[in-house]
Chain A
Amino acid sequence: MTIAFLVLVAVVVLWVVGAYNGLIALKNQTANAWKQIDVQLKRRHDLIPNLVNAVKGQMDFEKSTLEAVISARAKAVGATGVAATARAEGELSQALGKLFALAENYPDLKSSANVLQLQEELSSTENKIGFARQLYNDVATQYNTRQAQFPTNLVAGLTKATPSELWEITDAVERQVPTVDLSLNRPAS
């Protein structure tokens, strides 16, 4: 009888340890995924002044666009917390998009190796931000689900687990259904 009881206790203890460690691992993965986004955001913030300098001479009279990019960048650098960062970075993406769209009107810019290189760097950084966000949201969702599910939620209190905020798309423009070109014949950008 006592043996059965001891076995039961051992099983329960082992399960608690496993659940606890699983939650901690997920918590750290979530934090790590967030760091990944941070690294890429920082890189984007560093690249923007270079881009602005490279196009400034040619696009002198598009001053308002350039200034919008600069001020959006300043705001994004200062933002803290998931929701505020998401909003500021969303605005920065928009400002950059406008700048690139306008740059299409300047043949000199379009053919400049320096600008092309910066553009590839920035669009790659945008992609990396997107993928890092995707990873963060996946891992955070997994963490949130785990800590809310029975019976792991009984252990969640021990790990001081709180639901992680997801990086949601905040502004209406990004939420619009994009026009999709299915031909896939676009030239390599």
Chain B
Amino acid sequence: MTAGRGNLFEEQERNRRRSFWLVTLFIMFFGWVGFGGDLAFYFLTRDAGPGAYRHLIPFIGIVATLVAGGIAWFAWEKGADRVLWATGAWEVIEPATPEQKQYVNVVEEMAIAAGQPRPRIWIVPDPDPNAFATGRDPLQASIAVTEGLLARLNREELQGVVAHEMAHIANWDTRLMTLLAAMLGAIALMSDGLGRMMRGGVRVGGGSSRGGDKGKGNPLGLLLLVLWVFTLLIAPLVSRLLAMAVSRKREFLADASGSQFTRNPLALASALEKLEKETAPTRTITLGAAHLCIVDPAERKVSERGGIVGDVFASHPPMRERVARLRGMAYQSSVVSRQ
């Protein structure tokens, strides 16, 4: 178990680095989208006749980089709050029912087991069972579960789920995932908006005076333009695939370290099986926050397929595999303790 805690700090460090690179890549991507566009327009308008428009000031790039910095800052400062707000969660301050009291107790127990400060505790008014964690670091973390989850799971299963979320917090997965969620949204929005602008721009540009200059063509400018449009088109897909790939790895890890907190992997396995049976999607949790959740809030079809499709497109690993791994852990620990 000492190895487990040693790993925890390594994981935190690795996630801190991942978060840094994520933000850097994100800003660089926006920079490319901005300055690349500027460069393409510069080449395209360089040979224009006197009096015609020349694209000399890279204002698209400046604006895009500023916007990206703003989004990254906003995600850092407010990302967690936005996620909670979007799900309509309310904070449990004075637990009113025995059920809520038990939930608060379980979270406190797991915070102690993880050696972390007690996170803020939230309930999402949704009948479908699900849970997620968010926050920049363990000092400002939040755990949220749905009403459906509280109603369906017994104490041990709830403990397993909360331990999984606590592991995300202790590993600093929450920082990485919350940043990822915000940036995914921003890229989708930008690509959508720019795509629409371009379609409009081409229609207007076709009739304008620069048609003749373009005919000769500036190969470098055209090549840049093609590359630029191509990145815009594939950016949402690539960023989503990246997020999903990262997320699936983190889920396995959180299952494992959560079980280290409870020393009871079977309870989480049984909870996951219960959650899996619920086929209804969690409506209040939107796509952007999907990879924060313990089970995929979308209809659980893709992640069950496994194989290549499930590998690439699901935010969560196939449930069967998660359950099988947890059962394996339980078996191993029972063998060890018997020796």
Residues of B within 8 A of A33 (CB): 115
**A136, closest chain B residue (CB):** B115
B113 contacts chain A at the CB level, 8 A cutoff: yes
- Give which listed residue, B108, B115, B155, contacts A135 with CB less than 8 A: B115
Interface pair A188/B154, CB less than 8 Å apart: yes
Interface pair B115/A142, CB less than 8 Å apart: no
Known: A33-B115, A131-B261, A135-B115. A188 touches B5 (CB 8 A): no
Q: Mark A2-20, 1 if CB is under 8 A from B, else 0.
A: 0000000000000000000
What is the CA–CA distance of A31 and B154 in the complex, to the nearest angstrom? 34
**Within residues 128 to 187 of chain A, which ones have a CB less than 8 A from any CB in chain B?**
128, 131-132, 134-135, 137-139, 141-142, 145, 182, 184, 186-187
A127 contacts chain B at the CB level, 8 A cutoff: yes
**Within residues 84 to 118 of chain B, which ones have a CB less than 8 A from any CB in chain A?**
98, 101-102, 105-106, 108-110, 112-115
What is the CA–CA distance of A49 and B155 in the complex, to the nearest angstrom? 25
Smallest distance from the beta carbon of B339 to chain A beta carbons, Å? 13
Residues of B within 8 A of A188 (CB): 102, 153-155, 158
- Give which listed residue, A113, A116, A120, contacts B105 with CB less than 8 A: A120
Counting chain A residues whose Cβ lies within 8 A of the other chain, the interface size class is: 20 to 34
Known: A128-B108, A131-B261. A120 touches B156 (CB 8 A): no
Smallest distance from the beta carbon of B190 to chain A beta carbons, Å? 43
Interface pair A139/B115, CB less than 8 Å apart: yes
A121 contacts chain B at the CB level, 8 A cutoff: yes
Smallest distance from the beta carbon of B71 to chain A beta carbons, Å? 36
What is the CA–CA distance of A176 and B155 in the complex, to the nearest angstrom? 24
Known: A184-B267, A188-B155, A189-B154. A131 touches B110 (CB 8 A): yes
Interface pair B101/A120, CB less than 8 Å apart: yes
A112 contacts chain B at the CB level, 8 A cutoff: no
What is the CA–CA distance of A24 and B79 in the complex, to the nearest angstrom? 35
Interface pair B113/A131, CB less than 8 Å apart: yes
B1 contacts chain A at the CB level, 8 A cutoff: yes
Q: Mark B144-163, 1 if CB is under 8 A from A, else 0.
A: 00000000011111100000
Known: A139-B115, A188-B102, A188-B154. A127 touches B2 (CB 8 A): no
Known: A40-B112, A128-B112. A138 touches B155 (CB 8 A): no
What is the CA–CA distance of A184 and B262 in the complex, to the nearest angstrom? 15
B195 contacts chain A at the CB level, 8 A cutoff: no
**A116, closest chain B residue (CB):** B98
What is the CA–CA distance of A40 and B156 in the complex, to the nearest angstrom? 20
Known: A117-B98, A120-B101, A134-B263. A187 touches B112 (CB 8 A): no
Known: A121-B105, A124-B105, A188-B154. A139 touches B5 (CB 8 A): yes
B328 contacts chain A at the CB level, 8 A cutoff: no
Known: A120-B102, A128-B109, A142-B5. A186 touches B154 (CB 8 A): yes
The count of chain B contact residues (Cβ–Cβ below 8 Å) is 28
**B4, closest chain A residue (CB):** A138
Known: A116-B98, A120-B105. A135 touches B113 (CB 8 A): yes
What is the CA–CA distance of A114 and B322 in the complex, to the nearest angstrom? 39
Interface pair A189/B157, CB less than 8 Å apart: no
B218 contacts chain A at the CB level, 8 A cutoff: no
Known: A127-B109, A131-B113. A182 touches B101 (CB 8 A): no
Known: A131-B109, A184-B270, A186-B154. A138 touches B2 (CB 8 A): yes
What is the CA–CA distance of A40 and B266 in the complex, to the nearest angstrom? 26
Residues of A within 8 A of B110 (CB): 131
What is the CA–CA distance of A116 and B99 in the complex, to the nearest angstrom? 12
Known: A131-B113, A135-B112, A184-B270. A141 touches B2 (CB 8 A): yes
Interface pair B266/A138, CB less than 8 Å apart: no
Residues of B within 8 A of A187 (CB): 154
Which residue, of A113, A131, A142, A182, has the highest number of chain B Cβ atoms within 10 A?
Answer: A131
A65 contacts chain B at the CB level, 8 A cutoff: no
**B273, closest chain A residue (CB):** A184
A36 contacts chain B at the CB level, 8 A cutoff: yes
What is the CA–CA distance of A139 and B5 in the complex, to the nearest angstrom? 8
Q: Can you list 21 A-B contacts (CB < 8 A)?
A: A33-B115, A36-B115, A113-B98, A120-B98, A124-B106, A124-B108, A128-B109, A131-B113, A134-B113, A138-B4, A139-B5, A139-B115, A145-B2, A182-B266, A184-B157, A186-B154, A186-B156, A187-B154, A188-B102, A188-B153, A189-B154
- The 10 A-B residue pairs with the shortest CB-CB distance in the complex, in nearest-first order: A124-B105, A131-B113, A188-B154, A142-B2, A184-B270, A131-B112, A127-B109, A135-B115, A138-B1, A132-B112
